[in-house]
């Protein structure tokens, strides 16, 4: 299962790096959960709009491709897109369901 998750993470990184102006600042963090693995995409705040897209169309397309790949491997995934400068404490609060 670990190997399958790493393929999903690499897929996300490749897609997002192709979209942004600062590919070196793209980071994908894997957060295992009880029912699904959450992938947090962190990008330079200036690139956030590029990854989300107009009317969230780019974000939806990324999610569609990743969900299709995950479904093939029988994995459940969730994807969050955040600016790289967002504090770790704020993100942990969100994952703990307190937001």
Mind listing the pLDDT tens digit for each residue in 37-55? 999 999 999 999 999 999 9
CATH code for the domain of 83: 3.30.300.20
With beta carbons less than 8 A apart as the criterion, state whether 44 and 25 touch.
yes
- The beta strands (E) that lie in the chain are given as 27-32, 37-43, 77-83
Number of structural domains the chain divides into = 1
Q: What are phi and psi of 27, to 5 degrees?
A: -140, 135
Q: Determine contact, residues 95/31, Cβ cutoff 8 Å.
A: yes
- Domain range for residue 91? 2-95
Q: Rounded to the nearest 5°, which phi and psi values hold at 37?
A: -95, 130
Strands 77-83 vs 37-43: parallel, antiparallel or unpaired: parallel
pLDDT band at residue 98 using 50, 70 and 90 as cut-offs: very low
Single pTM value for the model: 0.81
């Amino acid at each position: 299962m670990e190997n399958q998750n790493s393929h999903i993470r690499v897929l996300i990184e490749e897609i997002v790096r192709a979209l942004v102006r600062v590919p070196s600042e793209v980071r994908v963090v894997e957060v295992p959960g009880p029912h699904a693995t959450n992938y947090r995409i962190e990008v330079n705040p200036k690139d956030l709009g590029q990854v989300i897209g107009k009317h969230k169309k780019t974000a939806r397309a990324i999610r569609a491709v990743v969900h299709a790949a995950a479904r093939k491997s029988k994995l459940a995934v969730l994807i969050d897109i955040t600016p790289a400068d967002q504090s770790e404490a704020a993100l942990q609060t969100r994952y703990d369901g307190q937001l």
